[in-house]
Amino acid sequence: MRQLILDTETTGLNARTGDRIIEIGCVELVNRRLTGNNLHLYVNPERDSDPGALAVHGLTTEFLSDKPKFAEIAAQLRDFIADAELIIHNAPFDVGFLDMEFAQLGLPKVAQTCAGVIDSLAQAKQMFPGKRNSLDALCDRFGISNAHRTLHGALLDSELLAEVYLAMTRGQESLVIDMLGDESLSGSVSTSRIALDDLDLPVIVASADELAAHEAVLTDLDKALKGASVWRTEPAPAEGEAVPAREALTV
């Protein structure tokens, strides 16, 4: 499955009042792995950026003056995103700007070109309701370094979002998958693909203090139940005997 993490920078916040795209960044994932086949484009918007937007992205009118206009890069962009699933943080914003630019050229909307759009901001709000879910906040939450992000940039933000998206949707499973090699994946991760029996997992034995605390908890349970709790119904394993997984979790 081919996915693209996409981000844009713009001259302002409202495409309907004449703001334009000035930068596009796309990071490619195939079967949830970064390929390095990325797209990065600067665009001459033929207008100045609003002061507030300029403070965010730092792309001056002078810097953009010799860059291609959107009409000159539209075909390249459409070919790159064709039939891919797009992953965008606050997707309505970026898609709205892209649709506006395409409409001015008489071209179909993004939805008619790509295979679908995932809004990672909407996903993050579902996972972390009531919390900040900006890209910076998510980087902090998942331990992803964004120290080099002093200004917003479409390609840099796409690269950071790629790491955030993989962390949000795969989490620690990625560590196991990477340990098992580059086996071909088909999108969603299935536990049947992970050969846990092949992993050399460490066994951490409970200390004397931990065993005593465990016994105290079981004794309190016995008193509350006025009888033996379920953890008392089977004898403890002899020294050196493997501990069943269920019992190991209670230690």
Query: Which active-site residues does the annotation give?
Result: 152
**Domain spans of the chain, in order of start:** 2-170, 208-248
Look-up of token digits 């693209």: 4
pLDDT given at position 47: 96
pLDDT given at position 167: 93
Consult the annotation and say whether 57 binds a ligand: yes
* Model pLDDT for residues 89-133, shown as the tens digit of each residue: 999 999 999 999 999 999 999 999 999 999 999 999 999 999 999
Residue 178's SS3 state is helix
Query: pTM for the whole thing?
Result: 0.67
Lowest-pLDDT range, 16-25, 123-132, 197-206, 213-222? Answer: 197-206
* Model pLDDT for residues 153-163, shown as the tens digit of each residue: 899 999 999 99
pLDDT given at position 199: 60
Check if the beta carbon of residue 185 is closer than 8 Å to that of residue 193.
yes
2-170 CATH pick, 3.40.190.90, 3.40.630.70, 3.90.1150.10, 3.30.420.10: 3.30.420.10
Q: What is the mean pLDDT of the chain?
A: 83
Cα-to-chain-centroid distance, residue 223 = 48
Cα separation, 28 vs 17, in Å, equals 31
Q: What is the mean pLDDT of residues 73-91?
A: 97
pLDDT given at position 22: 97
Q: What is the mean pLDDT of residues 212-230?
A: 76
Cα separation, 111 vs 100, in Å, equals 13
Q: What percent of the chain has pLDDT over 70?
A: 76
Among 77, 163, 71, smallest CA distance to 113 is for 77
Helix (H) or strand (E) holding 212: helix 208-225
Higher pLDDT, 26 or 184: 26
Using only C-alpha atoms, the chain has a radius of gyration, in whole angstroms, of 26
Banded pLDDT at 183 (limits 50, 70, 90): very low
Consult the annotation and say whether 89 binds a ligand: no
Consult the annotation and say whether 7 binds a ligand: yes
